[in-house]
Amino acid sequence: MKLITEMLESDVEFITEAKEDGGKNYFIEGVFMQGNIKNRNGRMYPMETLMKEVKRYNKEYVEQNRAYGELGHPQGPTINLERVSHMIKELHQDGNNVRGKAKIMTETPMGKIVKNLMDEGAKLGVSSRGMGTLKPGKNGTNMVQNDFQLATAADIVADPSAPEAFVEGIMEGVEWLQIDDRWVPQYIEKTQQEIKAASRANLQEVKFNAFKKFLEQL
């Protein structure tokens, strides 16, 4: 399975709500994901596939208060707790859109950065992150398959109109394998090439090193 990240061109709102003690709660709200439309990455999420996963994500993560998102562009599917900046509180269908609302966790290191950026009027956006396989469709469209799994419905990223926001994560080209609820890189092609290139004399050593490298990812 491959890491799939999507940054939407549509705007999301970063809002504040006053608290009784005079402080503020910080939220992000808007369209987090879209289905039944070819996006700028050339991919399409069938709405049925997307909502099946949203339903699971709501049940297992949002309703359990563990639907976290990070600040920046993580290079893998695992949620890094030290980089968590917000918690997704709502996720629901609105036509071909999936709208969401997330609360900024202003006491985490990354949440404090988001809070300060919001206070200064910075323009931010969101990026979904998930795992899945792709199948070529019509007109160069890659169809996201029914095995799609969300890592998070929304990471917070820099201005989506900035060039770096259009660059997909460097790890998108890596195959990933799920072991005991953890995603680890699966270096299939490189390992195959190393084994094929190995001489008979050092073949066993190459195989051992490949297996050792795999275990180090667990």
Q: What is the pLDDT of residues 155-197, one digit of tens each?
A: 998 755 333 323 333 334 456 666 556 656 665 556 666 767 7
Average pLDDT over residues 65-84: 91
Is 168 in a helix, a strand, or coil? coil
Which of 73, 85, 86, 128 is the catalytic position? Answer: 73
* pLDDT value, residue 47: 97
- The β-bridge relationship of strands 124-132 and 2-7 is antiparallel
Our answer to whether residue 73 is catalytic in this structure is yes
Please tell me whether the overall predicted TM-score, pTM, comes out greater than 0.95 for this model. no
How would you write 194-216 as a 3-class SS string? HHHHCCCCCHHHHHHHHHHHHHH
**Cα–Cα distance, 106 to 114 (Å, whole number):** 8
Our answer to whether residue 86 is catalytic in this structure is no
Average pLDDT over residues 110-130: 90
* Residues 66, 151 contacting (CB under 8 angstroms): no
Q: Which helix (H) or strand (E) holds 125?
A: strand 124-132
Average pLDDT over residues 16-42: 90
User: Which pair of structure tokens corresponds to residue 132?
Assistant: 């899945």
* pLDDT value, residue 2: 85
Which of 10, 85, 92, 127 is the catalytic position? Answer: 127
Residue 215 has pLDDT above 60, yes or no: no
Q: What is the pLDDT of residues 91-107, one digit of tens each?
A: 999 999 999 999 999 99
